[in-house]
Amino acid sequence: MAKQKFHFIRILILMFCTLQLSAQDFDTEEFNQKRLDINRIGMTVLGSWALGNIAVSGVSVFQSKGEAKAFHQMNVGWNTVNLLIAGWGYYQSLNALTDLTSMESIREHETIKRILLFNAGLDLAYIAGGAFLLERSKNVEKNRERFSGFGKSIMLQGGFLFAFDLVMYLIHQNHGNNQLYRIMNNTQFSLSPAGFSFLMEF
């Protein structure tokens, strides 16, 4: 029993040293800086979309009436929130730490991907909600034009956000296919009746 424990400890030490050596070529700071750069560009795109909508609809809301007026009103309100989110996200990307460990880097990378997927799900719900309002407008007399205008705006904004979140997810996913994940994918552990095995491919 003592011999087996010693053998197991020796394997763990060897495994740790091998992982440390293989990770030396991986620059976590560069990896994290790239992630933050992607986020910053994304927030710039979101902010530009928001500003464009606010500018166009902000003028159009005073030049239109009925359904069109409601459409532009929702665009302005929706993108005011988008602009706040973009501003906060941009600020966060400028002040976030990049000197993280490999495990912390993985956790941050996976977190942003989960957030983007969750947001994409919400975006589909927005589109469905807009479609519901648009359909409801066909069956009511009061506020028909408002329901219709709001519904079309929400569908437009939800569609953009869905495309935005999906593209951002794919960009982050592609960014993750680098040396860090190659190291992880090339590391294999197995436990069998014959013992514990560890394989690192270079």
Residue whose token pair is 């589109």: 127
Distance, in Å, from the CA atom of 24 to the CA atom of 28, rounded to the nearest integer, reads 10
Residue 182 belongs to a domain: no
CA distance 31 to 33: 6
| Cα–Cα distance measured from residue 100 to residue 23, given in angstroms and rounded to the nearest whole number | 13
Residue 181 falls within a domain, yes or no?
no
Task: Tell me the three state secondary structure of residue 63.
Answer: coil
Domain count, the chain: 1
* Whole-structure pTM value: 0.77
198 in any annotated domain: no
For position 101, what pLDDT does the model report?
85
For the chain, list residues with pLDDT below 70.
1-26, 178-202
8 within a domain of the structure (yes/no): no
Q: What is the pLDDT of residue 201?
A: 47
Is 60 inside a domain boundary? yes
- Identify the pLDDT of residue 175: 86
Residues 6+ apart with CB under 8 A from 112: 35, 39, 172
Determine the structural domain holding residue 81 and report its residue range. Answer: 28-176
Q: What helix, strand, coil percent values describe the chain, rounded to 5?
A: 80, 5, 15
Report which DSSP code applies to 98: -
Does residue 14 fall inside a structural domain?
A: no
In a domain, 189, yes or no: no
Could you tell me if residue 15 is inside a domain? no
